[in-house]
Each structure stands twice: as C-alpha cells, then as structure tokens.
C-alpha cells in the first residue's frame, strides 16, 4: 500500500462457500438477522445482502465493496405485498410490479411517511434520498432466503465497486473472499445482467424514467406503460447515483465495434464470426446471435478474456435492441475512460 491509498478498514473473514439447501438457507437467514452479510444468488447477478433496517449492516456492505456512500442500494423483498410497506406504489408502479415481479426489474418509488412501530429502512441504504429502489427477485434461493429473513435485504452486486458483476459463486469469492463471512452458492445466474431500473417516483403525469437498462427489455416495458424518459447521461449529474461512466471495468482496455482483432487482442465475438480475422483468443457470446444467451455469458466471458498477456479486449458489434441495450450499456461503461 502506498501513502496515498485509502486504508482498508474491513475486518478479515474466513469466507465460507456453501451450496444452497434448506439448511444453509436457514443458516444464511439467521446470519442476516444477526446483522452479518451474506452473498446470495439472484436471477440477474449475485447480491451482497445485509439487513436494510440495520445501519451497521448497511455500513458493512459499503465497506466490503469499497463503494462510495452516495450510491444507494436496492431493497430486496419476497413479494409486492411486502414491498408496499417500504415504498409508495402509484398505478403505473403497480402495473409494472404486477407484470414483471418476481423478476429482473427494480422500481424507484417514494419512501412512505414514517409510521410508528413500523420497520424503518436505514437512510444510509438509500443514501439519504427520499426515494427507495425495490426489487422482488425470481431466483428460488433468493426468494426462500428473503422469506426466511422476514425483513428487507439491501443488496448491491457482490463485487468490489467498479469491477465486473459476479454471475457465479467463484466470481464472488475472487472479488470479496476474505471480506465477507458467507457465500450461498447456486451455480450460474440465468439472466446474467443486473435488473432494469425504472424511476416511477415522479408526479402523476410525468413519464417514468429508465435509469439503467437491464434484464427486462425496454420494449417490453414501453409496451405496457408507454414511452420512457431515457437515462440522464450527464456524468457530472448522475440520476441513478451509480451511473458513473467507468463501471463494470475489466483490467484490460475494451475496444468496441471491432470487426477484426490484432494478435495481441482477445476477441469477444457475437453471432457467426467465421469471417472475422485475428485475435489471440476468441470467445463467442452467442454464435447463433441470441441476445439472451449473450447477456447470460457477458460478464463471465469478459472475466475469462481479462488476462495480462493480452493488450486489450476487442468486442464485435451487438444490436441495440432487446437485451442488446443493456449489453451495450455495460460494454460502453467497460470501455469508458477510467477514473
């Protein structure tokens, strides 16, 4: 560590990696209720969960990830009925929730007025905003864990801040091993990209805003509630405070829209690639050009290609439709100038 790097205050843990079962889910739920952190699978990416009503558990999430405190967390709940205790759902929010939950959609809604005796979400979790982001995941292990914990679980992706999100238990261990006590393991995340985030906290009449493209395609959402406002991409004024432009970054530089690759570049292909020349190593997101398959492979393949003997990762063009919107969003961030 040099004199300028920030000291790392996180206590060291022996990280246990346990295959998910009824018994280990019960143990993980008890750990969450005791204020400890648990990494767990969702259909999108692995999350790093902590009791959202506990300031110290939420602070531990920020510390383990080395995440800036101004970047708020998503609350995970088992169903809409529970979600309505922690956020105000207007008619549009209800339609979205009823259509896409459980599943990879996060809704930003207003915080309800504090009620006497009700569980209160830590202000630290929502970085002091008067809105909260809420999601009801569909992964069976996440659902069982949330039911057993019986409280809102704040969970960002289970990786160090600014790095590629984890889609397998080993990705979590590589990024947070020694910094968290427990990883509940259940193989590869089926969607592979984070949830789509929609801000429905505005006054009635203002269109909802897409804050982050993700596992549910924009087209599907617009088919239900009409046109969305698009993310405000001014990097100096983040609307979702997490929308910092350099994010999801592998160690190597990323070159987009590549139609060939140099011998010292790794190639991340998409679709039939037999006419593409070069590349020191080649992985194909989906040889058949299937965007869902590509989304599920994206983060794992970026990690596999991120090796020091290459100069860069060259990525073939990916269509800007369906899940391609979210795939290209993550790739543009991976290619953005590093802070």
For residue 44, state whether it binds Mg ion (rule: CB under 5 A): no
Among 41, 50, 72, 213, binds ligand TXA (CB under 6 A): 72
Identify whether the C-beta of residue 230 lies closer than 8 Å to the C-beta of residue 315.
no
> CA of 211: how far to CAs of 67, 228, 261, 266, in Å?
19, 10, 33, 31
Among 28, 96, 108, 153, binds ligand TXA (CB under 6 A): 108
Smaller CB distance to ligand TXA: residue 194 or 306? 194
- Residue with smallest beta-carbon separation from ligand TXA: 242
Among 87, 156, 166, 279, binds ligand TXA (CB under 6 A): 156
Beta strands in 11-147 (DSSP E): 16-19, 38-40, 47-51, 74-76, 105-110, 131-135
**Per CB under 6 A, which of residues 290..309 are in contact with ligand TXA?**
none
Segment contacting ligand TXA by CB under 6 A, of 23-31, 90-98, 192-200, 281-289: 192-200
Phi and psi based region of residue 55 (left: phi greater than 0; alpha: psi -120 to 50; beta: remaining): alpha
133 preceded by a cis bond (ω within 30 of 0): no
Contact letters for ligand TXA, residues 210-239 (x by CB under 6 A): -xx---------------------------
For residue 143, state whether it binds ligand TXA (rule: CB under 6 A): no
Least distance between Mg ion and beta carbon 118 (Å): 28
Cα–Cα distance measured from residue 333 to residue 28, given in angstroms and rounded to the nearest whole number: 33
Among 42, 122, 168, 286, binds ligand TXA (CB under 6 A): 42
> CA of 74: how far to CAs of 111, 130, 142, 184, 236, in Å?
13, 14, 14, 19, 22
Cα–Cα distance measured from residue 245 to residue 145, given in angstroms and rounded to the nearest whole number: 33
Residue with tokens 């979400």: 121
- The count of C-alpha atoms lying within 13 angstroms of the C-alpha of 119, restricted to the half-sphere facing its C-beta, is 16
Cα–Cα distance measured from residue 166 to residue 159, given in angstroms and rounded to the nearest whole number: 6
Size of the chain, expressed as the number of residues it contains: 339
For residue 195, state whether it binds Mg ion (rule: CB under 5 A): no
For residue 47, state whether it binds ligand TXA (rule: CB under 6 A): yes
Smaller CB distance to Mg ion: residue 157 or 175? 157
Identify whether the C-beta of residue 158 lies closer than 8 Å to the C-beta of residue 39.
yes
Smaller CB distance to ligand TXA: residue 48 or 335? 48
Among 24, 44, 126, 157, binds Mg ion (CB under 5 A): 157
- Which tokens is 49 given? 């969960």
Least distance between ligand TXA and beta carbon 266 (Å): 25
For residue 154, state whether it binds ligand TXA (rule: CB under 6 A): no
**Residue 38 phi, psi (nearest 5):** -135, 130
Segment contacting ligand TXA by CB under 6 A, of 2-10, 68-76, 77-85, 227-235: 68-76
Footprint of Mg ion (CB under 5 A): 157
Footprint of ligand TXA (CB under 6 A): 42, 44-45, 47, 71-74, 104, 106, 108, 126, 129, 131-133, 135, 155-157, 194-195, 197, 211-212, 240-243
């Amino acid at each position: 560590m040099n004199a300028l790097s920030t000291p790392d205050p996180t206590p060291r843990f022996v990280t246990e990696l346990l295959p998910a079962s009824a018994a280990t889910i019960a143990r993980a739920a008890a750990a969450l209720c005791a204020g400890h952190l648990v990494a767990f699978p969702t259909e999108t990416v692995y999350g790093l969960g902590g009791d959202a009503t506990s300031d110290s558990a939420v602070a531990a999430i920020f510390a383990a990830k080395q995440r800036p405190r101004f970047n708020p967390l998503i609350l995970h709940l088992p169903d809409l009925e529970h979600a309505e205790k922690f956020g105000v759902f207007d008619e549009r929010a209800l339609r979205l929730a009823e259509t896409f939950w459980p599943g990879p959609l996060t809704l930003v809604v207003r915080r309800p007025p504090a009620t006497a005796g009700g569980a209160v979400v830590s202000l630290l979790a929502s970085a002091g905003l008067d809105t909260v982001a809420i999601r009801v995941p569909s992964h069976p292990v996440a659902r069982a864990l949330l039911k057993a914990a019986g409280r809102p679980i704040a969970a960002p992706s289970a990786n160090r801040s600014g790095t590629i999100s984890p889609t397998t238990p080993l990705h979590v261990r590589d990024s947070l091993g020694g910094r968290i006590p427990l990883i509940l393991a259940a193989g590869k995340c089926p969607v592979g990209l984070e949830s789509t985030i929609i801000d429905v906290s505005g006054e009635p009449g203002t269109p909802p805003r897409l804050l982050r493209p993700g596992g549910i395609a924009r087209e599907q959402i617009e088919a239900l509630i009409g046109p969305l406002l698009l993310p405000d991409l001014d990097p100096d004024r983040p609307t979702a405070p997490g929308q910092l432009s350099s994010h999801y970054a592998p160690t190597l530089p990323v070159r987009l829209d590549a139609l060939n690759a140099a011998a010292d570049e790794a190639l991340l292909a998409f679709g039939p690639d037999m006419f593409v020349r070069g590349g020191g190593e080649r992985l194909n997101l989906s040889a058949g050009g299937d965007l869902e398959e590509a989304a599920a492979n994206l983060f794992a393949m970026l990690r596999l290609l991120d090796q020091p003997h290459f100069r860069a990762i060259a990525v073939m063009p990916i269509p800007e439709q369906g899940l391609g919107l979210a795939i290209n969003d993550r790739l543009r961030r991976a290619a953005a100038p590093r802070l």
